[in-house]
Amino acid sequence: MMLPLYEGLMTIGAPAIELLLSKRVKRGKEDPARLPERRGIAGLPRPPGPLIWLHAASVGEGMAALALIERLLEHTPDRHVLVTTGTVTSAALMADRLPERALHQYVPVDRPAWVDRFLDHWRPDLLVIMESEFWPGQISRTKARDIPIVLVNARMSARSFSRWEKAKGAAATLFSRVDLVLATNPEQATRFSALGAPNVRVAGNLKRAARPLPLDTDKAAALEARSGQRPLWFAASTHAGEDAPVLDAHLALRDDRADLLTIIAPRHPHRGAEIAALAADRGLTAARRSQDQPIEPGTDIYIADTLGEMALFFHLAPIVFVAGSLVPVGGHNPIEPAHFDTAIILGPLMSKNQEIASEMIAGDAVAPLTSAEDLAPCLAALFGDEARRGDLARNARAYVEEGMRVVEVIHERVEALAAPSPARKSS
């Protein structure tokens, strides 16, 4: 009963959805040139042959999926993978990182007519949904066409599980339509089974198998020449509320290290001016990469307010703080810096990557904080102990290298569902 009601509301709610899309365009959260894709109108032709549709909500899920996408394409030369995401930032990163024969489109809003229009055009042979992006219309309309559905890296927070439990009938209707759930761990598997998913397996966390970010060696050399021998550290993917503790940590540290350089990359680059203002309020000199402002001897804070350059700063910095973990965002993926031989610091709020964070803490592969106030003392200790930094970096690299087996397990199970149905082989 819940699904027809949901689909009815999404159908009659078209004016409200259009208004919301218009507001998102004004806020820079939608690409106006590609807005038709959000209505299910394709921006590209469907390539011939088998097609797997992989949906990832945003940057983190999309980056985690890259290793799987590469494996799905590796030995099937006539296959394509269509990747959908819902954010402008993820679209830009996918454009840079997707391999040949992988295409990107914005995911259609979950209105029945728009999802159907999308499916009419793309005719996928399999839908792979990453992590916790469960849209009832997307799942039900896809399953109505006998297209297999698999949840990869499937996870559900305790709060989400509690909400679904209160609507067990709707949950059973939705998750019973999923052919395979590949959960990150046994606890997550139990949750999906309890909600009615018929085929649940534990496959491990695909984020552990993320490939190293590509490094532009010429740009890296230029940055190294500018920063010289200065002590420096990198606050990666900060959100509002985290820049102030980072700047305050810089102030606390520079009593002993007057030439300290702090690099801040905001998760959303448009916040560069805001961070520069916060620095100025503290008497700190900031340079913004988006404005081509170079690192000078007097630069205290370098704001990396650009896209697609995180590898440069992971490579440059001996210490990286993974942000999104001092505010209730859920923490970003610590796997990315782990490839770059750097000592990693995590804040306490890592709910979106809690499994990885807990494993890395247990393996002495990261330095955990209990609060924002711990950031400066942790940095001071790491700057003063090169051997400790080396231990953390080596343990982090060992963790990601061992995790590469996860992608093979997931690929094998996804491949078993990926054969085109007879009805679609001729289309």
Rounded Cα distance, 47 and 322, in Å: 39
Q: What sign for the dihedral angle of Cα 26, 32, 34, 37? A: positive
**Looking at 37, 61, 309, 336, which residue is catalytic?**
61
Query: What are the Cα distances from residue 137, in Å, to 86, 104, 166, 368, 421?
Result: 15, 20, 20, 40, 22
61 catalytic residue (yes or no):
yes
Nearest 10 degrees: Cα torsion 107, 109, 115, 121: -40
Q: Output phi, psi for 244, to 5 deg.
A: -60, -50
Rounded Cα distance, 118 and 112, in Å: 10
Q: What b/e readout covers 236-253, taking b as 16+ CB neighbours within 10 angstroms?
A: bbbbeebbbbbbbbbeeb
Q: Closest by alpha carbon to 17, among 39, 46, 2?
A: 39
11, two tokens: 């159908």
Residue 413 in contact with residue 148, Cβ under 8 Å?
no
- Residues taking part in catalysis: 61
